Structure 1
Amino acid sequence: MMRSLYSGVSGMQNHQTRMDVIGNNVANVNTNGFKKGRVDFQDMISQQLSGAAAPTTEVGGVNPKEVGLGVQVAAINTIFTQGNLQTTGVQTDIAIQGNGFFILKNGEESFYTRDGSFGLDKAGTLVEPASGLRVQGWMAREVNGEQIVQTAATPTDLIIPVGSKDPAKATQNVKLACNLNKNTPVIEEGASPADIAKGEWNIEQKIYDNFGNEHLLTVRFTRVPGTPNQWRGEVQVDAENAEYTQTRIGLGTTDGMNNEFIVNFDNHGTLRSVTDAAGNVTNEDGQILLATSFTVPEANVDEDGNPLRQTFNLNLGTIGSQIDTVTQYASQSSTKAISQDGYTMGYLDTFKIDQSGVITGVYSNGTNRTIGKIAMASFTNQGGLEKAGNNTYVESNNSGQANIGESGIAGKGSMLAGALEMSNVDLTSEFTDMITTQRGFQSNAKTIQTSDTMLETVLSLKR
């Protein structure tokens, strides 16, 4: 009889624990990235009144007689199912689709979270605004003119320097991919201005010097008389100031050259070779790169009093190719300089984050530059993480060490900028669990009340 009292007590206590977990789940129904808890019960040790007996030749076996001593909490598990994603439009909000955690740092102490409601502090550091914990990732560094992110390195704080300068860069490469009409007429000597206009084709492209000043590159093509598949190219930088810029072009060098070259096409309309003013001819394969130089206005002169000359490559494409290359087909001539890599000075206006966590800066001069990449962590047993408050977790003895790397690799999910992961609490199931928990609590209370009534009956036997 006393056993039933203590069984009822254990039932009430542990159902209260379950109600505590349900209450916490309901309280966090609107907490970003929250993962609900679940209580699992198991019976306590049983008192054996008599043991089991094996069958004999005379009688069969006998089962043991045992009385259970109540219930206990077997585990309180954190359920890491995916929460719904909610679009916020805030560029620093990031949701994780799939497994993984963001990494936050407080000094040398690491925390892990699914809540991606981040922001920038006054130093431009990407942080969790409520606690100031710093988001971890890899900053990009420049290697041979390109921004490279070394994801094998140890993650560090991510700094997005909004308003910082992007220095001007001189143009180093200009790529052409135009078509020169096979049926363009040859300009005869003494031709009228109208006939000259019909027989030439001009390509224009803005380029930049070391100061970020803008210049106009003009490439003029005309048919070579007496040859079926040759064109003469004439290059000018700032044609209205041609006497000062002194544009020169050649294969490998511009020393002693003028600003003209000859383009040779084969019978398929593709590039065959280029000949510069010194008679140098390109190889039979590969890209055709013409070194082009011009005098930069208002620059310091060297020790010999010579003005600064800037050199860049004029890329006509690949010999024998039909893609992104100068061609000669019986089709309308096209004006197409598909790229140049110079720009003026700019400032970091804004930034964007893609699904792999790459942070790209958008500058006022039209350039995009990789700033860094957000790191992610995964665990062999994420259910073994300990909650540390503020929507964060820390490692435990049973979670395993954090496996830190890029999103989308080794089981890590992808990121979605401008969105947040909602709580995975389902109110329907929580309210249902609340009802069954209440019934369990009441039933265990009735067990105690009934046992008490039986004890009163025993006590009344003396009267």
Structure 2
Amino acid sequence: MAFNTGLSGLRASSVDLDVTGNNISNASTVGFKGSKAEFGDLYASGFLGSGSNPIGDGVRVQDVKQSFGQGNISFTDNGLDMAIDGDGFFVLNNGGEVRYSRAGQFGIDKDGFVTNNQNMRVQGFVADDDGNLSGIQDDLQIETDNLAPKRTTNLRSDLNLDSRESVLESQVRNWNSLSVDDLRDESVTFEYDGQSSTIDIDADEAVSDIVGKLQSASGVSASAATSLPVGDMSDADFSTFRLTVGDESSPRDIDLDGVTTVEELESRIRQISDQSISASVDEDGVLSITHNSGETLRAEYENDSDPDFDESATGVVSINTDRTVTGVDSTSTTVAEAFNVAPERINAFNPQDQRTYNHATSTTIYDSLGNSHDMTQFFVKQPSPGGGVGTSEWSVYTQIDGEFVGGTDETPHRARFNQDGELQSVNGDPNGEILIDDWTPKDADGTPNGADGPPADGEEITTPIPDPPTSSAFVLDLGNTTQYGSEFGVNDQQQNGYATGRLSGLDVSDEGVLFARYTNGQSKSLGQVALASFNNTNGLSPVGETTWVETFESGQPIIGAPDTGTLGSINASSVEESNVDLSEELVNLIIAQRNYQANAKTIETSDAVTQTIINLR
């Protein structure tokens, strides 16, 4: 009896040593769950009972039970490594066999599938081409193709227009018929915002110098030209003519050899070396010669039958300015009268002149090929349509790559605001939406680049733009625009287009969603890791490689997304370490060793007693 009891103790202690040794050997195994041997005593018993003083028959191993407690989470350098913080198992496809694991050391195989280090494919919920997650479970795969571009179909501008801005009025003065001779020996002063520029013109000033002096004044532009109408020469016999053109200092003889028409004469004049001289012929055959620098222009021609012709013209200076003109020191009545003409007050929008608009903002949009284009919105405050009570109005101009769109080259959009600074409507639309349907995407040289252009004539465009879009039409949404008494500011400006992009990295969220990052700044969900839980986790059967399989005792798996129900969340770039406490296992090893020695002592003592009996004589 004692032999059997001691032998059962040896077997049990040996199993305990095996379990403890296995725990110690896997102390550094990612996702490993430690085990513990559970024992039960043995008693001899019959159908009718075990007697009044039963003696035990030893011990037996009832079960080796695994502990599925949480292990420590440590960070790694691999973005696809995942650790489960809480309950649940990764679902793995091992060539058709489904396994479950807590080891999240994942990578990508040659086909782009997410696998563990035994090439078992990770299961998850796949996403469609637009990145929308579905409930379909399959192998997770990382697509390495370029992300296709997406054209802009909606641009939302959330901004504030400063209600304190005044209605712009420009003072524009134009003098287009001031003789160069009249301007000589004159003095003109241009004033603006308390500053002044005085231009003194000498009596013998060259025309180019006069123009240069005028343009040196802030806000002043000037040019000069001389036009000399020669007359009707449609029936002239040019073979007998001699023609000299130019200013007094550098006359030019025109070669008339072969000239038979006034049009040929015009072409011959334009071919002379002095490129500042040109010629034109009107529909009545009248020849006009122009000196683009404004110098005195002379034309002489003679033939055998007609008397000599000699005619000259002095250049005319054109001046344009938005400055006030004062202090005209003039000996010419013509100049004095010209500068005393009242300025014309206008509010002409000019995108090149910042003085003609109150605010502007730009953003990048994309065509169907993924090419970027600059869209600029200009805002010009207008007189209140309500006489300044309860309503304010702004004109909105739109340009793409410097060209007007939305018909604003002819008529601007009208944005109206109520007394609280809130948008009432844009072009009568209370939603503040503007449909841009006249944009033709172009290259830098101004030619169409092959992307989708405006909708065909008669094609009806509805908003929002349906998917997939078939033209370059898009919606400019100003619905969140306000007009408060604060500085102009762009609070938010978003558009839904982007250029093509290459895969640059992967991210994993706490919900186990795999995001692909692209070089164009976009991200797209590729799928979501699936987790499984069981009603009886201890019923799972370990099959090696830190994996388990489903058994009858475990029940069927309950599969769902991370961080839902009782399932844990995902820690990216992390792994779950073994939950083995090495210190505890070393103590257990000592205990198992002593138990083994003690049971061996029982057998040794029984042997000694038996030997004593055998030695009796």
What is aligned with 1:288? 432
Tell me, in whole angstroms, the C-alpha distance in 2 between the residues paired with 1:429 and 1:249.
80
Q: Describe the shift of the 1:74–1:266 C-alpha distance in structure 2 as closer, same or farther (beyond 3 A).
A: same
CA apart distance, 1:288: 2.2
Contact (CA 8 Å) 2:156, 2:494: kept in 1 or not?
Answer: yes
Contact (CA 8 Å) 1:249, 1:290: kept in 2 or not?
Answer: no
1:257-277 superposed Cα distances (whole Å, 9 cap, x missing partner)? 9562111111111111122xx
Letter in structure 2 aligned against 1:132: N
What is aligned with 1:173? 154
Map 1:210-359 onto structure 2 (within 5 A): 210-227=368-385, 228=388, 229-239=392-402, 242=403, 247-248=405-406, 258=410, 260-275=412-427, 281-283=428-430, 287-293=431-437, 294-297=439-442, 298=448, 299=450, 310-317=472-479, 325-359=480-514
Q: TM-score, normalised by structure 1?
A: 0.84
SS at match of 2:601: helix
CA apart distance, 1:89: 2.3
Contact (CA 8 Å) 1:47, 1:69: kept in 2 or not?
Answer: no
Letter in structure 1 aligned against 2:522: T
Q: Describe the shift of the 1:139–1:309 C-alpha distance in structure 2 as closer, same or farther (beyond 3 A).
A: closer
Question: Percent identical across equivalent pairs?
Answer: 33
1:387-418 superposed Cα distances (whole Å, 9 cap, x missing partner)? 11111111112011111111122311111010
Map 1:32-431 onto structure 2 (within 5 A): 32-46=30-44, 64-129=52-117, 131-142=118-129, 146-151=130-135, 153=136, 155-162=137-144, 164-190=145-171, 192=322, 197=355, 199-227=357-385, 228=388, 229-239=392-402, 242=403, 247-248=405-406, 258=410, 260-275=412-427, 281-283=428-430, 287-293=431-437, 294-297=439-442, 298=448, 299=450, 310-317=472-479, 325-431=480-586
SS at match of 2:472: strand
Tell me, in whole angstroms, the C-alpha distance in 2 between the residues paired with 1:147 and 1:30.
37
Letter in structure 2 aligned against 1:265: F
Map 1:435-450 onto structure 2 (within 5 A): 435-450=590-605
Q: Describe the shift of the 1:313–1:222 C-alpha distance in structure 2 as closer, same or farther (beyond 3 A).
A: same
Q: Identify unmatched segments of 5+ residues in structure 1.
A: 53-62, 251-256, 276-280, 318-324
Contact (CA 8 Å) 1:360, 1:370: kept in 2 or not?
Answer: yes
CA apart distance, 1:248: 1.7
Tell me, in whole angstroms, the C-alpha distance in 2 between the residues paired with 1:167 and 1:216.
20
CA apart distance, 1:337: 4.9
Q: TM-score, normalised by structure 2?
A: 0.64
Tell me, in whole angstroms, the C-alpha distance in 2 between the residues paired with 1:301 and 1:207.
14
What is aligned with 1:322? none
Tell me, in whole angstroms, the C-alpha distance in 2 between the residues paired with 1:156 and 1:305.
43
SS at match of 2:364: strand
Letter in structure 1 aligned against 2:382: V
4+ residue segments displaced more than 4 Å: 191-196
Contact (CA 8 Å) 1:184, 1:199: kept in 2 or not?
Answer: no
Contact (CA 8 Å) 1:184, 1:198: kept in 2 or not?
Answer: no
CA apart distance, 1:105: 0.5
Q: Describe the shift of the 1:259–1:365 C-alpha distance in structure 2 as closer, same or farther (beyond 3 A).
A: farther
Tell me, in whole angstroms, the C-alpha distance in 1 between the residues paired with 2:567 and 2:452.
56
Q: Describe the shift of the 1:222–1:342 C-alpha distance in structure 2 as closer, same or farther (beyond 3 A).
A: same
SS at match of 1:177: strand
Q: Identify unmatched segments of 5+ residues in structure 2.
A: 173-321, 324-351, 443-447, 458-469
Q: Please tell me whether Structure 1 or Structure 2 has the larger radius of gyration of its CA atoms.
A: 2
CA apart distance, 1:180: 0.6
Letter in structure 2 aligned against 1:94: M
In angstroms, what is the RMSD of aligned CA positions? 2.4
1:77-109 superposed Cα distances (whole Å, 9 cap, x missing partner)? 010010001111210110111111101112321
What is aligned with 1:29? 27
Contact (CA 8 Å) 1:236, 1:259: kept in 2 or not?
Answer: no
Tell me, in whole angstroms, the C-alpha distance in 1 between the residues paired with 2:384 and 2:564.
62
1:405-435 superposed Cα distances (whole Å, 9 cap, x missing partner)? 1112231111101011000110111111111
CA apart distance, 1:358: 0.1
CA apart distance, 1:150: 1.2
Contact (CA 8 Å) 1:185, 1:199: kept in 2 or not?
Answer: no
Letter in structure 2 aligned against 1:159: Q
Q: Describe the shift of the 1:226–1:35 C-alpha distance in structure 2 as closer, same or farther (beyond 3 A).
A: closer
- Counting matched residue pairs gives 414
CA apart distance, 1:300: 7.4
SS at match of 2:490: coil
1:119-147 superposed Cα distances (whole Å, 9 cap, x missing partner)? 11111110112x211111122004xxx42
Tell me, in whole angstroms, the C-alpha distance in 1 between the residues paired with 2:18 and 2:451.
77
Tell me, in whole angstroms, the C-alpha distance in 2 between the residues paired with 1:309 and 1:428.
70
SS at match of 1:181: coil
Map 1:11-26 onto structure 2 (within 5 A): 11-26=9-24
